[in-house]
Amino acid sequence: MDEVRPTTGAQAHGLASIFPPGLQAIYGECRRLYPEQANPLQVTAIVKYWLGGPDPLDYISMYRNIGNQPQDIQEHWHYVSFGLSDLYGDNRVHEFTGSDGPSGFGFELTFRLKREVGETAPPTWPAELMQGLARYVFQSENTFCSGDHVSWHSPLDNSESRIQHMLLTEDPQIQPVQTPFGTVSFLQIVGVCTEELQAAQQWNGQGILELLRGVHMAGGPWLITDMRRGETIFDIDPHLQERVDQGIETEGSNLSGVSAKCVWDDLSRPPEDEEDTRSICIGAQPRRLSDKDTEQIREVLRKGLEFNTKAALPPISAQRHGHERPQSRKDSLESESSAAIVPHELVRTRQLESVHLKFNQESGTLLPLCLRGRLLHGRHFTYKSINGDTAITFVSTGVEGAFATEEHPYAAHGPWLQILLTEEFVEQMLGDLQELNTREETKLPKEYSWPEKKLKISVLPDSVFDNPLQ
């Protein structure tokens, strides 16, 4: 990527007829906000994504926002992406499906960074951060929505900052735009500390965003990221932790799933049996989830996306099967008729007698959240492996459409395992897994076993998962 200055405002209006319509629509909204900055600094992909380049975003524009002191809004830099939506309408990047639905993925990213004293030009590192998120969207086909969180595990600017993760929310200024290729909304990245991310996981992202808006040092009304912030909102105002605890108790968590390092084994099958029950496919087809199961799990993951490492991104799929998000099933896992599944994807659901679940440390520490914040509130929670099609879904007895039942609590549909846990067993597991709630590093490997339930869980080092067939 390189910095360039785009065409001046007057010239841009004169060349509107040859500007790509999607690009022009977003430029128009930016000009509405910044009429005096018709020629902002811009980071552009030198080799465009549709020509084989690595960066999905064609451009990131950078504006200086003077803020609003009476409203407690500090001066900052405002970044806007171009490329997650359909800029061209000619199928070079996004399939054009008409103007009634979303344009491309239906959104662009924005970011607000506190302007430091004496800074005369915007830092460019946020552009690479936005490109990284865009790569994830293009490669995984998972889209973002307000309240989502991204666990990044590294200072966003590669410094020593405590701001190492992100929440997403609607941009407070940029309005959704209608383009000839569909609608585009604008999601703002908000940098947060680890403790704030964990609170969002355990409760919900919208609740934490609202708390951040009320703390000037943590972003204020427009959620401006300050990379020099050294205190969490709970350090600044300890009473906020009580609000989070109360929210968890009364509402539970709205995090319905994460991408994770995990595998599962069928302990009821003899070791000498070579059939891999994690992928029971008819014929000699490679292990894979059906399109229907994949869409179902994507919906489970929709509200909570988890990056375990920035490098562990799935490969780009050969084609996308549509850009609209599936309709939320809430607390239902009911899928469409299996008749719609093509023959080479046919799998049979199998009841298992005994299973062994394996998680890395980060995924393991989310087990108490899964149990307390989801299953005790009648919901479900899914771990989707970043190393393949393996998926593990925990369901409570109140979840509709699950293929695991109280009579057969462990059931596999190809590489997708469902585990149904009763409320009594969930309470027992929470007591046994209590040490996973601590923020201290747990000595690995760690094993938990419930022989009467024929269930075993291991928390293992990351190295165990380097081999996807482990």
Dig out the tokens for 289 from the structure: 């989830």
Is residue 158 within 8 Å of residue 164, measured between CB atoms?
no
* pLDDT for residue 143: 92
pLDDT of 303 above 50: no
Single-letter amino acid, residue 191? G
- Give the three-state DSSP class for 66: coil
pLDDT over 80 (residue 24): yes
pLDDT band at 254 (very low <50, low <70, confident <90, very high): confident
* Average pLDDT score, the chain: 83
| pLDDT value, residue 2 | 53
Token pair for 140: 């995984």
**CA proximity to 80, closest of 25, 42, 118, 136:** 42
Beta carbons within 8 Å of 76's beta carbon, 6+ residues apart: 65, 67, 112, 113, 114, 115, 222, 224
Q: Residue 14 pLDDT > 60, yes or no?
A: no
Mean pLDDT in residue range 410-415: 94
Residue 410: which of 397, 400, 421, 424 has the closest Cα?
A: 421
pLDDT of residue 301: 55
Given a cut of 50, is residue 345 above it in pLDDT? no
Averaged pLDDT for residues 9-36: 78
CA pair distance 266, 412, nearest whole angstrom = 9
Q: What is the pLDDT of residue 275?
A: 45
Which pLDDT value is given to residue 335? 33
Helices and strands of the chain, counted as H and E runs: 11, 19
Instruction: Give the model's confidence band at 46: pLDDT under 50 very low, under 70 low, under 90 confident, else very high.
Output: very high
Give the β-pairing of 391-395 and 416-420.
Answer: parallel
Share of the chain above pLDDT 90, in %: 69
Q: Give residue 262's pLDDT band: very low, low, confident or very high (50, 70, 90).
A: very high
Residue 166 in contact with residue 156, Cβ under 8 Å? yes
By C-alpha distance, which of 388, 399, 149 is closest to 255?
149
Q: What is the rounded average pLDDT of the residues 404-433?
A: 96
- H or E segment at 64? strand 59-65
Is residue 305 pLDDT above 90, yes or no? no
What pTM value is reported for the model? 0.76
DSSP annotation of 281 = B
Residue 232: what pLDDT? 98
**Residue, of 404 and 268, whose pLDDT is higher:** 404
pLDDT at 442: 72
Say which DSSP state 383 is in.
Answer: E
Q: Which of 16-25, 293-302, 356-365, 400-409 has the lowest mean pLDDT?
A: 293-302
DSSP secondary structure of 131-160:
HHHHHHHHHH-----TT-EEE--S-TTSSS
* Alpha carbon distance 75, 267 (integer Å): 59
pLDDT at 343 > cutoff 50 = no
pLDDT level of residue 269 (50, 70, 90 thresholds): confident
Cα Rg, the chain, nearest whole Å: 23
Give the per-residue pLDDT at 271. Answer: 55
Segment 136-165 mean pLDDT: 94
Q: Could you give the CA distance from residue 465 to residue 470 in angstroms, rounded to a whole number?
A: 6
Give residue 398's pLDDT.
82
Tell me how far apart the alpha carbons of residues 24 and 44 are, in angstroms, rounded to a whole number.
16
Structure confidence at residue 438 (pLDDT): 73
Q: Which helix (H) or strand (E) holds 167?
A: strand 165-170
What is the model's pLDDT at position 27? 96
Average pLDDT (402-426) is 95
Say if CB 455 and CB 354 are below 8 A apart.
yes
pLDDT tier at 330 (50, 70, 90 boundaries)? very low
Instruction: Provide, rounded to the nearest whole percent, the portion of the chain with pLDDT above 70.
Output: 78
**What average pLDDT does the segment 375-387 reach?**
92
What is the model's pLDDT at position 167? 97
* Residue 234: Cβ-neighbour burial (10 angstroms; 0-12, 13-18, 19+): middle
Q: Is 306 helix (H, G, I), strand (E, B) or coil?
A: coil
Residue 276 is predicted with a pLDDT of 44
Band (pLDDT 50/70/90 cuts) for residue 288 is low
343 vs 98, higher pLDDT: 98
Contact 82, 104 (CB under 8 A): no
347 pLDDT band, cuts 50/70/90, is low
Q: 68-88 pLDDT, tens per residue?
A: 999 999 999 999 999 999 999
Per-residue confidence band for 270, with pLDDT thresholds at 50, 70 and 90 = low
Question: Residue for token digits 């430029």?
Answer: 27
Mean pLDDT of 234-258: 93
Q: Which residue has the higher pLDDT, 286 or 22?
A: 22
- Look at residues 23, 6, 60 and name the one whose alpha carbon lies nearest to residue 180: 23
Mean pLDDT highest for which of 142-156, 169-183, 308-322, 384-398? 169-183
DSSP designation for 55: B
pLDDT of residue 140: 86
| Higher pLDDT, residue 314 or 178 | 178
User: What does the pLDDT read at residue 268?
Assistant: 84
Q: Is the pLDDT of residue 164 over 90?
A: yes
- Look-up: residue for tokens 């451009």? 59
